[in-house]
Amino acid sequence: MSKPGSLLGALAALVSVFVPAWQASAEEYVDVALVLAVDISRSMSPEELQIQRRGYAAAISSPEVVRAIELGAHGRIALMMFEWANENHARVIADWALIETQDDANRFASVVMEDQTRAQNRTSISGAIRHAAAFLNDVPFLADRRVIDISGDGPNNQGPPVLGARAAALEKGITINGLPLMTKGGVGFQFNIPDLDEYYRRCVTGGPGSFVIPVTNWDQFPDAVRRKLILEIGYRPPERERVIRAQFRVEEPYDCLVGEKIWKRLREQYYWDP
């Protein structure tokens, strides 16, 4: 018969084998480690960028989001926010913070509003996913789930194809949710596609429980972000929410290189430099 000490030691060794490397240095349990990846490409106007910033701050500090955090198994989440555009641009706006109370949420929102956005060239969703996955790898908490919350107003048009970046993140157990901004007009309208929500669903999002919430009017933005955060924190959709579940059925192939093709066509048409 095995001694109790030997059995406990064997169980401890077995558990340690299955603990992911990204949890090794964690100090405290959280329900979710959530990265907010915010598009600041030049296709968005300064006014739109400011609406976006205010919308995130209002949603994070809303009583509904704080209540969703309080109802979690651990009653706390880890949150960080960065801005993305081209493949190499990943500017941290608010670094990893433990959000447990209304005061925590208010402080995070204040940090978001204290900063100023500076738009950048190009749209690399693949780069945004890669940077977000790296941030999640360094999260200083033990997270039950790891989620990338990515918003954007156009398809990938720079850097590696988005499917490869998505696959790499999913292999690490990361879920990717999308907030496609399908508003009309703007300086980058020529890069827009009419089915950006479908592009996000088919090419960008993935993982357990992943979803897409499209925004068709900027007036909808604050509420859409709030609802999205509640879904990500609570991991269950409220009834009658307009949510598109990602990758739910087998479908005809979708062209996930549509953004790269638009960029190539416009560059050739207007003789842009590579």
Estimate to the nearest angstrom the gap between the alpha carbon of 53 and the chain centroid.
Answer: 15
Tokens in use for 86? 């081209």
pTM of the predicted protein model: 0.83
The CA distance from 128 to 67, in Å, is 29
Contact 177, 210 (CB under 8 A): yes
Q: What is the CATH number of domain 32-270?
A: 3.40.50.410
List, for residues 42-83, the tens digit of each pLDDT value: 777 788 888 899 999 999 999 999 999 999 999 999 999 999
Could you tell me which residues come within 8 angstroms of residue 48 by beta carbon, excluding any fewer than 6 positions away?
183, 186, 218
Confidence class for position 133, pLDDT limits 50, 70, 90: very high
Pinpoint the alpha helices (H) of the chain: 4-18, 46-60, 63-70, 102-114, 125-137, 162-171, 196-199, 221-234, 258-270
Instruction: Write out the DSSP string of 203-272.
Output: II-BSTT-EE--BSSGGGHHHHHHHHHHHHHHSSPPTT---EESS-S------TTHHHHHHHHHHHHHT-
Contact 248, 210 (CB under 8 A): no
List, for residues 6-20, the tens digit of each pLDDT value: 444 444 443 333 334
List, for residues 23-33, the tens digit of each pLDDT value: 434 468 999 99
The CA distance from 77 to 61, in Å, is 13
**Which tops the pLDDT comparison, 269 or 41?**
41
